[in-house]
Amino acid sequence: MNLTRRQTLASLAALAGSGLMPSLTFAQDAGTFRIGALNPITGAGGPYGTGMQKMIAAAAEVVNAAGGAAGRMFEVFAEDTQTQPQAAVLAAKKLIEVNKVQAVLGTWSSGVSLAVLPLASEANIPLFHCSGAPALSVAPANEKKLGYRFQATNDRFGRAFAEIATKEGFKRPATMAFNNASGIGNTEGFEKAWKAKGGEIVASVVYEPAQPSYRAELQKILDAKPDVIVMGSYIADTTIILREWYQTGEENTFIMPAWAGNPELVKALGPDVVEGIISVDSISNEGSPAFAAFDAAYQSAVGHPGLTNVYAAMTWDMVTVLALAMEAAGPGADMAAINAKIREVANPDGKQVSSFAEGKEALKSGPINYEGASSVLDFDEFGDVTPDFAASFIRSGEIKREYVVTL
Amino acid sequence: MTGFAELLLSGVMSGLIIGLAGLAVTLVFGIARFSNAATGDTMTLGAYGALLGTTLTGSLIFGGLVGLLAGALAAVLSYVLVFRQLANRSPISSLLASIGLAFFVRAGLGLAFGHNQSVFQLDIVRPIRFLDLRIQPNDLKFAAIALVTLVIVFIILHMTPIGRRMRAVADNPLLARVSGIAPRPVMFTLWAMAGAVSAIAGIILGMKTVVSPEMGWDMLLPAFAAAVLGGIGHPVGAIVGGLVIGVAQELATPFVGFTYKIAVSFIVLLLVLLVRPRGMFGRVEGVR
């Protein structure tokens, strides 16, 4: 046989490729259950992603140590979404097609989850995510009801904003929203709740990302003389808007989600500009036994208190809920059967449990209700949960929680 | 009325940044004959260079110079390593290579500086009130820097021997070559200039907004639009094109809202090209 150089190279490449194949052949081992940990390791979600991923691994270890879920051991495949839909789609495809994962856990940012959910649905596997966009609740994105949200919807954030605005006695709110599902979701949720209370919105603006200046947008809002501006925004645009706002000399205050009103914002602008801003975040189910278990695991894996990463508490719960649903569905159950059990093990009217081992034991004698580390974790018909919210105020450059809002 | 004047002002500021980026695009197009998609990321590189320089020296001015040099150096390097190799191929090769270079630069910056935003620590100052108009002192400085940049580019292009040679190459590369104009110094100057201009656009944008690895890439489309609107290859055209786009966007907002202001600038672009397909300042070019 007379090989040309090109043929030789091609066959070498094929050989090298086939070296990767055996891992595929044994993908469907009955003794293991493969989960994809698809988290924002880099990008805007970077501050949370590593902790989220470590908690998926830690919770999977806990499940495995308790004998696995319905006898199956969890195997975790980790990927980075880069907090970007394009990168997330590539990573999700790799997880689903190459690693043959049977569930994808832990996407963050609505754009990412909206891009990944159709891929997961197509493969008939569930996606557990931490994103807020209302569109993730319903068809077409969630047509197969395989998407479960462990974070509050932006709509619920908006309702929390309205509660806080009422409590603080604001009369003339205006809204500014980043033009995407999450940003508009926040301000629309606020508007609905605020109008239901009989309030009025003096001005509202939806703005485009990546503009050199937001002066015109601000001018329209400030002309209406608001006493508070409710933001559906992210960190970069918030930085630009607040800088330009401060330079106008107006003295209203702001209510914004915590992914915009965070320490990085304080660092970027200095304490004077951000003084008095109200930063709102959903909070973990602090004080629950599940949170204590998560906190211990987080401390040992990351070295910070579990309070610093609400999303890691969510990913911890994702693994636990999945394992409990598998346990309830019994050995050898397919994904449809497992999916049918998710609400059953998490929602009320069962014995309250706080860990996988406890739930596994209790399942032998009847229904259970997992009370999670991130919230009491009761899924509504859309697969959404309702956590509590905290209102934190920025004073002298420190972000301090002042009260909790329960919807 | 003040409302309109303030919109006009903010449009001019956006327009100057778009125009500077457009100028960098048009300079490269005029002489190297392809659309350089790495322009946006050269802006980003300049902004990070300035950030680094400012942190090291503690002075915004020195920092800015470091950014400027970084942009110029990166552009010259990109010519030496990439575009010179492709000079004899079709412009599509260079265009595609420039997209790849853009990805490379962005990924490199992300790796080196992370994806979180950084900011220039500028003093936050109250605006100057002039005839009931709020004018930002910083904006005045940025506008001055932009104008000085323009003047320097024009002096180089129109009053120096190398500028004359550059214009000769832009006009007719073959004729320039047979007239004894060596291409290498021309290309080096061109790339250094284009890189420096991009860096200045990036530094101003970074000072007005925040610095992140994606910032320049996001400006690429408006920059191309400015270059096309002005008449591609025409330096004054790029600046005027940028200003038209910036001002049209802002002035349209009371009528179309903020979501569609970007669309308005492209409608302006369409209309101008319908009436003058060669752009506002462009010349009709024959097929070579």
Query: Mean pLDDT over residues A376-389, rounded?
Result: 93
What is the reported pLDDT for A264? 87
The pLDDT of residue A6 is above 90: no
What is the reported pLDDT for B237? 92
Report if residue B208 sits inside a domain. yes
Contact partners, residue A107, CB within 8 Å, separation at least 6: A38, A39, A40, A81, A88, A113, A116, A127, A129, A130, A131
How close is the nearest chain B Cα to the Cα of A129, in Å?
22
Domain ranges of chain A: 31-152+286-370, 154-283+388-405
Residues in chain B with CB shorter than 8 Å from the CB of A264 are 116-117
Report if residue B288 sits inside a domain. no
Residue-averaged pLDDT of chain B: 90
**Residue A405 and residue A391 in contact, taking contact as beta carbons nearer than 8 Å:** yes
> What CA–CA distance (Å, rounded) separates A344 from A328?
9
> What CA–CA distance (Å, rounded) separates B227 from B240?
9
For testing the chain A interface, which of B119, B123, B253 should be mutated: the one with the most A CBs within 10 Å? B119
| Side-chain half-sphere CA neighbours of A71 within 13 A | 8
Which CATH class for the A31-152+286-370 domain? alpha beta
Give the residue among A252, A218, A223 at the shortest CA–CA distance from B136. A218
pLDDT bucket at B233, cuts 50 / 70 / 90: confident
A239·B18 Cβ contact <8 A: no
Select from B126, B212, B259 the Cβ nearest to the Cβ of A247: B126
> What CA–CA distance (Å, rounded) separates A101 from A124?
11
What is the reported pLDDT for A330? 92
What is the reported pLDDT for A58? 97
Report if residue B281 sits inside a domain. no
What is the reported pLDDT for A7? 57
Under 8 Å CB pairs connecting chains A and B tally to 93
Residue-averaged pLDDT of chain A: 90
Q: What percent of chain A has pLDDT over 90?
A: 78
What is the reported pLDDT for A8? 54
Distance (Å) of CA B223 to CA A232, B50, B101 = 28, 21, 17
pLDDT, tens only, A207-255 = 988 888 898 899 899 999 999 999 999 888 999 999 999 988 888 999 9
Identify residues of B whose CB sits under 8 angstroms from chain A CBs.
Answer: 3, 6-7, 10, 13-14, 17-18, 110, 114-117, 119, 121, 124-127, 134, 136, 205, 208-210, 212, 214-215, 218-219, 250, 253, 257-259, 261-262
> What CA–CA distance (Å, rounded) separates B167 from B158?
8
> Domain limits at B12?
2-121+137-275
The pLDDT of residue A358 is above 90: yes
Alpha helices (H) along A270-334 = 271-274, 289-302, 310-329
Residues in chain A with CB shorter than 8 Å from the CB of B18 are 212
How close is the nearest chain B Cα to the Cα of A346, in Å?
36
CATH number at residue B270: 1.10.3470
> What CA–CA distance (Å, rounded) separates A53 from A79?
9
What is the reported pLDDT for A18? 45
The pLDDT of residue A5 is above 80: no
Report if residue B12 sits inside a domain. yes
What is the reported pLDDT for A324? 96
Select from B18, B218, B250 the Cβ nearest to the Cβ of A216: B250
Identify residues of A whose CB sits under 8 angstroms from chain B CBs.
Answer: 42-44, 46-47, 82-83, 179, 205-213, 215-217, 219-220, 223, 235-236, 239-240, 243, 246-249, 264, 268-270, 272-273
> What CA–CA distance (Å, rounded) separates B35 from B83?
12
The pLDDT of residue B1 is above 80: no
Distance (Å) of CA A136 to CA A129, A161, A346, B50 = 10, 21, 20, 41
pLDDT bucket at A15, cuts 50 / 70 / 90: very low
Query: Mean pLDDT over residues B146-162, rounded?
Result: 93
Domain tally, chain B: 1
> What CA–CA distance (Å, rounded) separates A54 from A243?
36
How close is the nearest chain A Cα to the Cα of B219, in Å?
8
What is the reported pLDDT for A25? 40
Query: Mean pLDDT over residues A105-122, rounded?
Result: 94
How close is the nearest chain A Cα to the Cα of B27, in Å?
23
Domain A154-283+388-405 fold is Rossmann fold (3.40.50)
pLDDT, tens only, A39-80 = 999 877 888 899 999 999 999 999 999 999 999 999 999 999
How close is the nearest chain B Cα to the Cα of A240, in Å?
5
What is the reported pLDDT for A322? 97
B116·A264 Cβ contact <8 A: yes
Residues in chain B with CB shorter than 8 Å from the CB of A243 are 124
**Least confident window among A195-199, B217-221, B253-257:** B253-257
The pLDDT of residue A128 is above 80: yes
pLDDT bucket at B70, cuts 50 / 70 / 90: very high
What is the reported pLDDT for A213? 85
B127·A46 Cβ contact <8 A: no
pLDDT bucket at A24, cuts 50 / 70 / 90: very low
pLDDT bucket at B284, cuts 50 / 70 / 90: low
At residue A211, the 3 state secondary structure works out as coil
What is the reported pLDDT for B66? 96
Distance (Å) of CA B260 to CA B42, B182, B255 = 28, 48, 10
Query: Mean pLDDT over residues B243-264, rounded?
Result: 88
The pLDDT of residue A389 is above 50: yes
Tokens in use for A390?
């905290």
What is the reported pLDDT for A28? 46
Chain A's closest residue to B17, CA to CA, is: A212
What is the reported pLDDT for B136? 85
pLDDT bucket at A1, cuts 50 / 70 / 90: very low
* B269 vs B48, residue with greater confidence: B48
